[in-house]
Amino acid sequence: MKSCFISGLLLTGMLFSLSGAPILRNASFELGSEDWKLVRFARKESPFRGAVPDRDTRVHGRLSLRIDNPDADSLELTSRLVFLRKGRTYTFSWYARSDRPLPLRGAMISQCDSRWYVEASHVTVTPVWKRYHCTFQVQEDSDYLPRFSWGNPGGKPNSATLWLDAVQLEESDHPTPFHWDTEWEAAATLSSRLSMEKEPLTLTVKAVNYTQEPKDLPLHFTLEDTVFPEHSSSLPEILLSVPANSVLERSVPIRPTRFGHMRLREKNGHCTTLPFAVIPRAETRQYSLQTTHHTGLEYDFSCRPHEQTKLLHSICLPGGGVEEDLAFYRSAGISLLRVGNLGTAFTWKNMEKSPGVFDWTEIDHQISLAEKHGFRLMAVFGNMLYLRDRGDRKRSWSRLPDFIIRNGKRYRNPKQHRWDGVLPSHPEWRRYASAFAAHCKGRIAAYEITNEPNIVIPAEAYVEYVKLAAEEIRKADPEALVIGGCLTADYDGKLGHYLSLLNRSGALAMCDALSFHPYSSRLDTSRTSAASNIHFLREKIGGKTLWNSELYYLWDPPEAKDFSREVILFPGMRPHHLFRRFSIDFGEGVMQSIPLSVNHLLDSDGERKNWKGSPVFLTDERIPNAMYAAYASASALYTGSREGKKVKTPSGVTCYRFRHRDGGHFAVCWKKFPEETADAHLPAGLEVRDLFGNRIIHRGKVPLSENPVVLDLPENGSFPVRFELQKP
């Protein structure tokens, strides 16, 4: 059941309690915009404009929330996730006004597996304060996200200013008068979500006293290590003496003592949990992509089609736009970006507007930003040669120009029901390759020839595209690397025929490396181990250099049926999965590894343990998660390293040794299976660190776990370590 209504009733300001009513944090905005998140989808680079507390117009308390929108951006304002029970009826309500008529959607959003639930009220806000609401019945136990969307619905820009106040979510089949079930509220913020080299951060707490009496409000925070919880600690009590009917703010320093992913949690739930990362300072020197290792990331320059507008927008978050976004990922030591598969940046459709007519404005801007922050770029040349379904429209969407689709041939793989392949004409493909490489000469480090061609087009067609593109790129930019293959085992992708034909045709000989996506062999514990997969590829291509250019899912669920379900795969990934994959790639001779995308490295305040879908469907602030911290530590260790080699160990232990960029030697080791017991015996003076770089004190024996440890080996290159394994 679902109903949406509008009421002109204004609030009296009376507070009372309703048993069992789920309360949204700071729902009357008496703490300003705390615990609410605003995201702008801007048409151009523009400064971020946040939500502003307003004392001059309100319906409850002393403040409302005002959001200005002079550029008619698409806007999303969200509260924190709230858990709702299946079968129960809820009403989501809010008061709103605007300075001119403004279409607005107020919604409760959840994703359970592949099912979306968007219970929404579409209204037109006017200059008069009115109450709007939506009543709905919950279909599945799940976290729901309260969200308001406006500014550019359906591509119709509206620059109106919006005010919101008295937002309420209650278990009821109709809206009741706005009520409160607490005498006070608190919120907390951090000065930064990154601590470089354990530098102190500032925790600011703010509390509002809703009563007519002064109150002493105690807050008790713990500093939690999310990966190694045994190193968590309690912080001194923060006591706020808040006068009657007022707000008080206080700041205290937070001094991290460990590297890794941390979380500030108020023990009694009075404040939202605050995740942050403590990371080493990034290596800034540049090393050869052909002979040394780097940690890479798939990136989109925040260019994505927005769900409401259907237009291309750049995501603008608190703290700035794309440039600040790039700085955030460069801080993790990431130095190689794969661009053109995720989002719509570096898209052929956006470069060649009509046959032979190129527009380089946006790509020049993006490359300049990447250069400014020290990134090298790998362009996914031609994106993906396919047409796929979009909504209820079959084979209607592609990143290819419309004229390429019209002039090219269509190929339907009888085993693939998600999309049709598109085969561009050779002259158009050659023209695109020549223009792209000539314009970007010296600015793009590598071109990867399309994404996952083995699931959309025949191998016989692909090898010709590789030859043509390689020939034009070599002529226009001899220093750029050409990466062929981009073969996947996902979506029933077959490798054998492609590899054989790439070799026999001479196409692979024109490439500097072959890229692959090891979805069926993610780790050393996979049914087909990661090392076996790499050895298979090397044999098939005669020892040609390999690049892992995409993986996304870094572990194998215990049940085979869950092997490709992202609802299982995304929340199940842990930092040790990422660190192990980097170690396996570099240790087995893969030169570059780009396993994850930008979407995998973001957290939210609090936890999403009940969000039953992929977190990439939520637009988030730049809050680093544990995978971000693992990227930073892996980058600090592996950037510029070389000479990876597997060490002979018992079957339940994996170990690789490397030459450090500064000339020393190190090894990385872990045990493969949790049910086994394994120890590393080593000299007492040998330094050992965990996967984040924290020193491990030992007396000649280090217990191994699934979390890798790093051993600093003697300068003479010897390996004075012995492994002992006990099976259950």
Instruction: Name all domains of the chain by residue range, CATH numbers in brackets.
Output: 2-170 (2.60.120.260), 184-279 (2.60.40.10), 296-574+583-613 (3.20.20.80), 645-726 (2.60.40)
Residue 333 pLDDT > 50, yes or no?
A: yes
Strands (E), 518-664: 546-548, 590-593, 642-646, 653-659
Pair 140, 109: CB distance under 8 Å: no
What is the mean pLDDT of the segment spanning 459-464? 97
pLDDT in tens, 350-360: 999 999 999 99
Distance CA 328, CA 668 (A): 27
Residue 610 pLDDT > 80, yes or no?
A: no
Distance CA 119, CA 142 (A): 13
Residue 718 pLDDT > 60, yes or no?
A: yes
Strand bridging mode 162-170 / 89-98: antiparallel
Residue 635 pLDDT > 60, yes or no?
A: yes
CA-based nearest residue to 235, from 255, 249, 215: 255
pLDDT at 47: 75
> What's the token pair of residue 110?
């959840």
Q: How confident is the model at residue 43 (pLDDT cuts 50, 70, 90)?
A: low
Burial 425-463 (b: 16+ CB within 10 A, else e): eeebbbbbbbbbbebbeebbbbbbbbbbbbbbbbbebbb
pLDDT at 152: 85
Q: What is the pTM of this model?
A: 0.94
pLDDT in tens, 181-190: 789 999 999 9
pLDDT at 326: 94
pLDDT at 1: 45
Element (H, E) at 32: none
Q: How confident is the model at residue 617 (pLDDT cuts 50, 70, 90)?
A: low
What is the mean pLDDT of the segment spanning 679-688? 95
Q: How confident is the model at residue 476 (pLDDT cuts 50, 70, 90)?
A: very high
What is the mean pLDDT of the segment spanning 413-429? 88
> What's the token pair of residue 611?
């969000």
Element (H, E) at 67: strand 64-67
pLDDT at 22: 54
Strand, helix or coil for residue 454: helix
Element (H, E) at 726: strand 722-726
pLDDT at 261: 98
What is the mean pLDDT of the segment spanning 525-545? 94
Strands (E), 221-362: 221-225, 233-234, 238-242, 247-254, 260-266, 274-279, 296-299, 303-305, 312-316, 336-339, 352-354, 357-358
Pair 35, 25: CB distance under 8 Å: yes
What is the mean pLDDT of the segment spanning 5-21? 39
Residue 94 pLDDT > 60, yes or no?
A: yes
Strand, helix or coil for residue 458: coil
Strand, helix or coil for residue 389: strand
What distances in angstroms separate CA 652 from CA 260, 425, 644, 678, one per listed residue? 26, 52, 20, 8
> What's the token pair of residue 466?
């590789």
Q: What integer best gives the mean pLDDT of the chain?
A: 91
Residue 562 pLDDT > 70, yes or no?
A: yes
Distance CA 373, CA 478 (A): 24
Q: How confident is the model at residue 429 (pLDDT cuts 50, 70, 90)?
A: very high
What distances in angstroms separate CA 150 from CA 105, 157, 264, 610, one per listed residue? 7, 9, 33, 27
pLDDT in tens, 260-313: 999 999 999 999 999 999 999 999 999 999 999 999 999 998 876 554 444 455
Distance CA 321, CA 553 (A): 28
Q: Is 571 exposed, middle or buried (0-12, 13-18, 19+ CB in 10 A)?
A: middle
